Amino acid sequence: MNRILTTLLIAISSLSLLAQNTYQRGVIIDSLPTAGNLNETFALYLPSSYSEQQLSPIVFVFDPSGRAANGLRPFRLAAEQYGYILVSSNSNKNGPQNVNFDVANRLFNHVFSNFNIDNSRIYTAGFSGGSRLAMAIAVLTKRMQGVIACGSGFPGNVAPVGNETFSYAGIVGNLDMNYLEMHNNSRLLDALQVSNALFTYNMGHQWPTEQQLLSVFDWLQMEAHRKGIIKVEPAVINSIYTKQLSELNDPEHKDNLLGKHRAYRRLLKSFGPYLNLDSLQVAANTLRASPEFLDQQREFAKVKETEQELFANYTQQFFVDLQRKKPKTQAWKKRIDKVFRDMENSKNHFERQMLQRLLAQIGVTAYEAAFSQAASLNLEQLMFCYDLWIFVNPKNVYGYLIQMGNALKKSDQDLALDYLSQLLATGFDNYEALMNYQPIKPLHSNEEFIKLVEPLKQ
């Protein structure tokens, strides 16, 4: 782990030895080679205002699937607004931490050797597993000005201890299985006196939108101003505040009083030293004392306790069942169907969101087990994992395709055709993609298969 610190220290101490570059501005350029490893590439976005003669802030973005361009897209608006260089590796992805550190080392070395970077404004960002990597790098190097953590919190073996100087922006959807984790992380950072803000939105486990990330970078801009790293003019401060205050009128804040109060506190902390916010403080106090807020606070606390218990019980039961040579798939189908019914019948929106997060957690746990333990699982165990993944995502096209291939590994064409029928019931109609999926080639001569796929030709 210390190598990543060494590389970054060397890189930022060599800022005067930089090469000129002529990359196009305002577009994502993918698959640029990384010096030191010809098999590693990265995506780059230079803002329209970029100049080689000026120091630029930078965001290193980590996508969990190693799709660098995909990781950069949500950051473009913020990059244009505030002049950030965006960089993301196609080789950093969910996997062994030491491998990801080595890849990041080479990327840092390449970038700091070729671009004029402001070493006081280096940021890491990521989604899901990429978020955990971004946090690990920030904690270990102690050279990052900020972390933008989307959909996941801290890695299991690296956590802040209270001497961190970076600003931490957490972004999570209220339907994300890591929703409670992000809330708990924010409270821990508060206790450690690490400057942080939690942005919650009505979404699942996904990259935030460009507008959502622009709001996050507005906050980071004020953080840099507070620390004396940059100077934000009073008119700009007022403009950012006005924009962020207007966002509290968005529909998603209408019923989420807890989130609205959290946003009030964030605005008071960020802008209180520079603007007269007496009226906002009154609004925050009034909301905090309202019966509606107190009711939601009690409801959320109750749901949170239930969610933690259900997550623990379902996860434990999954891994117990996974040890069976032939896991009981139908028992899980009944459990999952009941969660869907309970979610549909619930009158409590906190409970509905919690149950949706529970389904997401079951699906992710099953998929990750199949992905990470494939070499040690027998075919029945592997299909059990993918079945659960399908049960919680009934329109999961890729899941049905995988299971069709797995069924053929058992020489069970009837089972493969059953998965095909379920796939077609989702509305799937891509004949070419289906016929080109290599694992199901043995089905092409099956009369029932031919009959089922015939309508897709039209």
pLDDT tens for 65-86 read: 999 999 999 999 999 999 999 9
Q: Give the up-direction half-sphere exposure of residue 56: CA atoms within 13 A in the CB hemisphere.
A: 26
Quick one: what percent of the chain has pLDDT higher than 70? 95
277-304 pLDDT, tens digit each: 999 999 999 999 999 999 999 999 999 9
The pLDDT of residue 21 is 65
237-280 pLDDT, tens digit each: 999 999 999 988 877 777 789 999 999 999 999 999 999 999 99
Q: Is 89 helix (H, G, I), strand (E, B) or coil?
A: strand
The pLDDT of residue 16 is 39
CA 441/CA 439 separation, integer angstroms:
6
Strands 85-89 and 37-45: antiparallel
Residue whose entry in the numeric block shows the structure tokens 């309508």? 455
pLDDT-based confidence at residue 121 (cuts at 50, 70, 90)? very high
The pLDDT of residue 17 is 46
Contact at 8 Å (CB) between 262 and 252? Answer: no
Is residue 4 scored above 70 in pLDDT? no
Torsion of Cα atoms, 300 then 302 then 307 then 308, to 10°: 110
pLDDT-based confidence at residue 440 (cuts at 50, 70, 90)? very high
Is residue 395 scored above 60 in pLDDT? yes
The pLDDT of residue 125 is 98
CA 404/CA 452 separation, integer angstroms:
14
Q: What is the mean pLDDT of residues 125-146?
A: 95
Is residue 129 scored above 50 in pLDDT? yes
Q: Is 246 helix (H, G, I), strand (E, B) or coil?
A: helix
The pLDDT of residue 457 is 87
Distances (CA, A) of 372 to 60, 90, 221, 232, 363: 26, 20, 39, 47, 14
CA 59/CA 77 separation, integer angstroms:
13
Residue closest to 238 by CA, chosen among 274, 269, 263, 273: 274
Structural domain boundaries in the chain? 2-232, 307-457
pLDDT-based confidence at residue 14 (cuts at 50, 70, 90)? low
Contact at 8 Å (CB) between 398 and 433? Answer: no
The pLDDT of residue 3 is 58
Mean model confidence pLDDT for the chain: 93
The pLDDT of residue 131 is 97
The DSSP bridge partners found for residue 59 are: 86, 123
CA 69/CA 144 separation, integer angstroms:
22
Residue closest to 241 by CA, chosen among 270, 198, 265, 213: 270
CATH of domain 2-232: 3.40.50.1820
pLDDT-based confidence at residue 458 (cuts at 50, 70, 90)? confident
Q: What is the mean pLDDT of residues 134-139?
A: 95
Contact at 8 Å (CB) between 248 and 219? Answer: no
Quick one: how far is CA 418 from the chain centroid? 34
CA 272/CA 265 separation, integer angstroms:
10
85-110 pLDDT, tens digit each: 999 999 999 988 999 999 999 999 99
Q: What is the mean pLDDT of residues 329-350?
A: 96
